[in-house]
Chains A and B, each alone.
Chain A
Amino acid sequence: MRAAFVRGLTAAARQDPRVLLLTSDLGFKIFDEFAREFPGRFLNVGVAESNMIGVAAGLALDGMRPFAYSIAPFATLRCLEQVRNDVCYHQAAVTIVGVGGGYSYGPNGPTHHALEDIAVMRVLPNMTVLCPGDPVEAEAAVCAAAAQGSPVYLRIGRAGDPAMHRGPVRFEIGRALTLREGRDCALVSTGNILPLAVEVSDRLRERSVSCRVLSMHTVKPLDDAALRACAEETRALFTIEEHSRIGGLGSAIAEWSAMNRVPGPRCLFGAEDRFASTTGSQAYLRALNGLTVEKVVASIAAQLAGAASC
């Protein structure tokens, strides 16, 4: 998704001279072409996230459309107060880009895992939270963020995320994309775990279970109409994300369902409330948290058959 981000940013910068990129010393070589094409609009501010976000806010207050890039936990947590006060309080048109959603930086350890970022970003007033599910969505999300004119958190994967859409998508902030139709249940996914959600649906189909898959690339604001349709047209709703089960997409939909008096998610598939105690790849760490096709398929099937708990 990193490469898709750079493609999207290049397109956005060609369209809009206000777009520029700040990085806190991350993204070695991937921005070289961007920097060549747009002199003065690429700036490595050094390993100083708080300053980067404050500078981005100042740039936005004076008419620019900065993107501020770092690994997700550094871009969100290290400088959280700057994101809250300088960006969100001012309604500044800054897009904060967190690369490496979930366990994308698996072997780097929990310092580099992003399992709280969605929770923390979505609680901030004025913030839009985008978690594209594949490179196609990520590329389109960049242009949508650049056009938004208000604070955006854009959470992307890293490298090697497969494309789930065959061609360009009509990406609208707050409008979920449907990857699989289905009537028995709906699996609502956000971010880079989308390929797993799609495979879950395909496996369920082999068992004659029709599972709708939505890429809820916008966690804030949620797609109210798509969620209502799931509630009305399917028997059960499930959520999946590479993020803590506390505060992420599943929580957001549970809150939405409580406030709208619509049945909530049956299970929230996501990371457990703990730091990884052993090292491992993204796939390994997903599996430790039950985020495998087999386990999710089994869990959904059991739920549909009447199991009492997840």
Chain B
Amino acid sequence: MLQARARAVRARILRMAHDGKTPHVASALSCVDLLVALYFSVLRIDPAKPGDPDRDRLLLSKGHGCMAQYGALAERGFFPESTLAEYARDGGRLAEHPGPRCVPGIEAATGSLGHGLPIGAGMALAAKLRGASYRVFVVLSDGECYEGSVWEAALFTPAQHLDNLTAIVDYNGWSAMDRTSPAMDPFAEKWRAFGWCVREIDGHDIEAVVSVLAAVPFEPGRPSAVIARTVKGKGVSFMENDLEWHYRPPNDDDLRRALLEISG
């Protein structure tokens, strides 16, 4: 059951942030349900064959949310649970922003915002040129959409008819210091104006996410954009919509209370 998977991933995120004393816990919680839907239902992947040339690609362009990706990949069986102990540790493979193919399932290094969509467009173009059937999914944040390179790629992708690419925006309404509104408003219209087929969904309704992403491409010949309305810090009441949790690692008491809420 996908909700149980999402709870397990949230618990991992909280433990990683606590043990590693790292920030961005709320950003990771925001995209958990999207990643669970992707890794457990949408993507054509086999954890036993992470280098399969025909696998679907998922890029987490909001690299600072990678605790969610690490947690979801472990949950999906790409690597053992014990690997998560390497997060933010000296000599470990799991940095606070993922390195290039640092562990199975990580397709590209991200961390500086605005890089994932162009790379994903290149991968989608490579599939078209080589006659490959894999699809590319890029998860961005709304704050990331301040970056000009996002819109360079947003222009490029429809022009190249890359209908094998889907951009999913984890739209939690926050950048690192502020609300993303009104700068991003109206958001879906921006993507439509650039030539994308757009759907807007509740990014925490896993079944809705699955059913929308199962329908890509929404139109042959055009890339798909999914605006997923989310809550920063989703699942832990005292972290939701509080920018403090973009920065502050959970202490022992925070962790205990948060885990209680997740399991409840």
Tell me whether A and B are bound partners.
yes
| 8 A Cβ contacts from B83-141 to A | 99-100, 107-109, 111-112, 114-115, 117-127, 129-130, 132
Question: Whole-angstrom distance between the alpha carbons of A56 and B53 in the complex?
Answer: 18
A91 to B160, CA, bound (A): 25
19 examples of A-B residue contacts, CB within 8 angstroms: A46-B152, A46-B156, A48-B156, A55-B125, A57-B122, A58-B124, A58-B125, A58-B126, A59-B129, A61-B119, A61-B126, A62-B122, A62-B127, A63-B53, A63-B126, A64-B126, A81-B115, A86-B119, A89-B100
Q: Within the complex, what minimum Cβ distance (angstroms) separates B87 from chain A?
A: 19
Contact with B155, one of A46, A66, A89, A90 (Cβ below 8 angstroms)? A46
Decide if B153 is an interface residue (CB 8 Å cutoff): yes
Cross-chain contact B129 with A48 (CB below 8 angstroms):
no
The reply to whether A82 and B155 form a contact with Cβ atoms under 8 Å apart is no
- In angstroms, Cα B252 to Cα A110, docked, is 57
Interface size on A, residues (CB 8 A): 30
For A90, give its contact among B100, B127, B153 (CB under 8 Å).
B100
- B123 A62 Cβ-Cβ under 8 A: yes
Asked if A54 contacts B118 (CB within 8 A), the reply is yes
Digitize A269-302: 1 where CB-to-B-CB distance is under 8 Å, 0 elsewhere.
Answer: 0000000000000000000000000000000000
CA distance A43 to B122 in the complex (A): 12
What residues of chain A have their CB less than 8 Å away from a CB belonging to chain B?
20, 40-41, 43, 45-46, 48, 50-64, 66, 81-82, 85-86, 89-91
* Assembly CA distance A66 to B124 (angstroms): 14
- Inter-subunit contact B156/A51 (CB<8 Å): yes
Number of interface residues of B (CB under 8 A): 32
Whether A58 pairs with B100 at a CB distance below 8 angstroms is no
Q: Is residue B221 within 8 Å, beta carbon to beta carbon, of the partner chain?
A: no
A51 & B123 in contact (Cβ 8 Å cutoff) = no
| A54 CB contact (under 8 Å) in B111, B121, B159 | B121
Q: Which residues of A contact B109 (CB under 8 A)?
A: 85, 89-90
Query: Does B220 interact with chain A (Cβ within 8 Å)?
Result: no
Kindly provide the distance from the CB of B43 to the nearest chain A CB, expressed in whole angstroms.
16
* Most A CB within 10 A of own CB, among B99, B119, B123, B156: B119
Bound CA–CA A90/B101 (angstroms):
8
Q: Which residues of A contact B112 (CB under 8 A)?
A: 81, 85
- Check A64–B129 contact: CB distance below 8 A: yes
Contact of B148 with A by CB under 8 A:
yes
**A41: B residues at CB distance < 8 A:** 129
Chain B residue with the shortest CB-CB distance to A66 = B122
Across the interface, name the chain B residue whose C-beta is closest to A53.
B118
CA distance in complex: A85, B115 (Å): 8
Q: How far is B98's CA from A89's CA once the two chains are assembled, in angstroms?
A: 11
Contact A59 B126, beta carbon cutoff 8 Å: yes
B120: nearest residue on chain A (CB-CB)?
A58
Q: How far is the CA of A102 from the CA of B255 in the complex (A)?
A: 57
A150 to B189, CA, bound (A): 40
Interface centre among B112, B117, B123 (most CB of A within 10 A): B123
Interface membership of B22, Cβ < 8 A: no
| Chain A residues in 8 Å Cβ range of B149 | 50-51, 54, 82
Using Cβ atoms and an 8 Å threshold, which residues of chain A touch B156?
45-46, 48, 51, 55
When the two chains form their complex, are residues B108 and A59 in contact, meaning their CB atoms are under 8 A apart? no
- Quick one: which of A20, A40, A82 has the most chain B CB within 10 A? A82
Q: Are A58 and B121 in contact (CB under 8 A)?
A: yes
Q: 1/0 per position for B147-170, CB-CB distance to A under 8 A?
A: 011001101100110000000000
Q: Chain A contacts of B152 at CB under 8 A?
A: 46, 48, 50-51
Q: List, in ascending order, chain A residues with CB within 8 A of B115's CB.
A: 54, 81-82, 85-86
Q: Is the CB of B127 within 8 A of A55?
A: no
Residues of chain A contacted by B122 (CB below 8 angstroms): 54-62, 66
Give the CA-CA distance A45 to B121 in the complex, in Å. 11
Known: A48-B156, A50-B148, A81-B112. A55 touches B118 (CB 8 A): yes
Complex Cα spacing A46 to B126, Å: 18
Inside 8 A of B120's CB, which chain A residues have their CB? Answer: 58
